[in-house]
Structure 1
Amino acid sequence: MSFSGNPTTFVERQIENDGFWPDLSLTEFQKAYRLPGEYLVETLVVGLISAMTEVNADLAKCKGKWQAAGVSCLKSADPMVLPERTFQAETYKRAVYCRAKAELLPQFATITRRESAENTGKEAPERAETFLAFSQAAVRSLQGRGRMTAVLL
C-alpha cells in the first residue's frame, strides 16, 4: 500500500515486443521499479510501450548486426554466437523500464494536485534524469560502448 492509501496492485500483463527483443511484464516493472500506486494501469502500459519504442529505435543498428550474425531472437540466441544473451536480455529490460519510469515520474504531479500530496521523491526533476541516465547506460552497454565517450571537435 502506498502512503496515499491506494493499494499497490500488481497487474499480470505482457507487452509484446517485436519478436527479437524480449516481451515486457507490467508486473515485473511495477515490482522492480516501484511506481506510485496512484498510476492507472493504462498510464503504465502507455509509458512502457513508449519507452520500448524509443529503446528499440536506439538499438536498431545493434539488432541488425546481431540478426546478420544469425540471431533471430535475443533470449534464444545460440550461446556460441551471442554468449551474453541472458545478460543482454536483462540489460534491455533495464533500459526500457528505467526509460519508462523516467517518462512516468514527471506525470505524478498531474495525478495528485493537492499541495499536501506533494512528494518531491516522486516529482523532483532529478528523479526522471537519474532514471533516464540509467536507461542510457543500459543502451550503451548493449551497443558495446562505455558509459562515457569523447568526440573530437
Structure 2
Amino acid sequence: MSFSGKPTTLVDQAIANDGFWPDLSVSEFQRGYRLPAEYLGELLADGIALAMGEVNRDLAKRQATWQAAGIANVETADLLVRPVRAFMVSSYKRAVYCRAKAYLLQQFATVNRREPAENLGKEAPERSERFLAFSQQAVRLIQGRGRITAVLL
C-alpha cells in the first residue's frame, strides 16, 4: 500500500535487456523503490526502458571491455573472471531503477494533482535529483571510477 492509502498493484512484466546486462522487472522495481500507487504499469515500464537505455549507453565502454575479456552475460559470468558479478548486477539494477524513479517522480504532478494536498515527498525536485545522483553513483562504480573525479587542468 502506498502512502496515499491506495493499494499498490504489482505489475508482473519483464523488460528485456540486450543480453549482456540483466533483464529488469516492473514488480521488482515497485517493491524495491516504493513508487506511488497512482502510476499505471505502462508508465512504469516506459520509465524503466528509458532509464535502461541511458544506463546501457553510459556503460557501453565497460561492456565492451568485459566482452573482450570473455564475459557474455554479467549474471552468468564465470566467478574466476568476474568474482563480484552479483554486486555488479545489483549495482546495475540500482543505476537503472534510481534513474527510472528520478524520471517518474518528475511525472507525478501530471499523474495526480490536488492543489490543496500537494505531497512534497513525491513532487519535490530534490527527490528526483537525489535518485538521479544514486543512479550516477552506481554507474560510476561499475565503470571502476570513484564518487568524485578530479582532472588536472
Helix, strand or coil for the counterpart of 2:91?
helix
Which residue of 1 is the match for residue 101 of structure 2? Answer: 101
Shift of 1:152: 1.9
1:13-52 pair list within 5 angstroms = 13-52=13-52
Shift of 1:5: 4.2
Which residue of 1 is the match for residue 149 of structure 2? Answer: 149
CA deviation profile, 1:9-34 (whole Å, cap 9, x unmatched): 11111111000000001111000000
Shift of 1:3: 4.2
Which residue of 2 is the match for residue 92 of structure 1? Answer: 92
Comparing 31-40 with 6-15, greater Cα deviation is found at 6-15
Structure 1, gaps ≥5 residues long: none
Helix, strand or coil for the counterpart of 1:70?
coil
Percent of aligned pairs with the same residue?
67
State the one-letter code of the partner of 1:46: D
**TM, length-normalised to structure 2:** 0.97
Rounded Cα–Cα distance in structure 1 between residues aligned with 2:149 and 2:139: 14
1:56-135 pair list within 5 angstroms = 56-135=56-135
Rounded Cα–Cα distance in structure 2 between residues aligned with 1:137 and 1:4: 30
Rounded Cα–Cα distance in structure 1 between residues aligned with 2:111 and 2:31: 20
**TM, length-normalised to structure 1:** 0.97
State the one-letter code of the partner of 2:79: P
CA deviation profile, 1:65-109 (whole Å, cap 9, x unmatched): 000000000000011111111110111000000000000001101
Which residue of 2 is the match for residue 6 of structure 1? Answer: 6
Shift of 1:54: 0.1
Rounded Cα–Cα distance in structure 2 between residues aligned with 1:46 and 1:145: 29
Rounded Cα–Cα distance in structure 2 between residues aligned with 1:116 and 1:109: 13
State the one-letter code of the partner of 1:86: A
After the TM superposition, list the runs of 4 or more consecutive aligned residues in structure 1 that deviate by more than 2 angstroms. 1-6
CA deviation profile, 1:32-54 (whole Å, cap 9, x unmatched): 00000000100000000000000
Aligned residues: 153
